[in-house]
A and B are shown apart, each in its own frame.
Chain A
């Protein structure tokens, strides 16, 4: 079965500093990988997704992630943090099987931006 591990349930960075949120996956077949963001009391918004094309994926709001098969990782980065980036971030995996493409989520990382 597939799974996702997000290292660090809480991450704090200064405004303008690099954001790095870590995600490692486990899957028996090449997976599809996603990052979603959740603001308080809201649903999830897709930031970016990897679907076996380019390994470096660019998303919205200046975020990007790189798929590294050798490390089974899909870390999320942003060069310069903004106050509006404060939110909960979820990494998720889909194992394509031509059927139920349910998302399996990690436990999330809460990002705090220090002014």
Chain B
């Protein structure tokens, strides 16, 4: 069990550019979540997948954001036409739903800075 990994760990981009983040969950975990954490705040839910299906998106997720989990394994989060307000830590978590309460395991996050 190698844990949840995220790449890149840091990303600096200019306003208007597109960025893509990758999350590799714990193998065999069927749920994958994306959260966003801004400075001084707790993480906020963005979206989640059950296997390859994206089942819910937060109102925080504007049309510029898109997430995929094409084969039910890794996931990508893309932000188009980045804005300075997108600067945040993007956290990925995975869990195994198998009866009872799932426990979400978090990756180290990708810190995005939009200049």
B42 sits at the interface (CB 8 A): yes
Contact-residue bracket for chain B: 20 to 34
Is there contact, CB below 8 Å, between A46 and B103?
yes
The listed residue with most A CB atoms (<10 A of its CB), out of B35, B42, B45, B107, is B42
Known contacts A99-B55, A102-B33: A44-B43 contact under CB 8 Å: yes
Partner of B101, one of A43, A90, A94, A106: A94
B28 sits at the interface (CB 8 A): no
Closest B residue, CB atoms, query A42: B108
Q: For the complex, count residues of A whose C-beta is within 8 A of B.
A: 26
Is there contact, CB below 8 Å, between A51 and B100?
yes
The listed residue with most A CB atoms (<10 A of its CB), out of B35, B43, B44, is B43
Partner of B91, one of A44, A102, A104: A44
Known contacts A92-B42, A105-B43, A107-B42: A43-B104 contact under CB 8 Å: no
B106 sits at the interface (CB 8 A): yes
Known contacts A32-B101, A101-B101, A102-B33: A43-B42 contact under CB 8 Å: no
Is there contact, CB below 8 Å, between A102 and B106?
no
Closest A residue, CB atoms, query B3: A43
Closest B residue, CB atoms, query A105: B42
Q: List 21 A-B contacts (CB under 8 A).
A: A9-B40, A41-B111, A43-B4, A43-B106, A44-B91, A44-B93, A49-B103, A90-B42, A90-B43, A96-B101, A100-B48, A100-B55, A101-B95, A101-B101, A103-B33, A103-B35, A103-B43, A104-B45, A107-B40, A108-B40, A108-B41
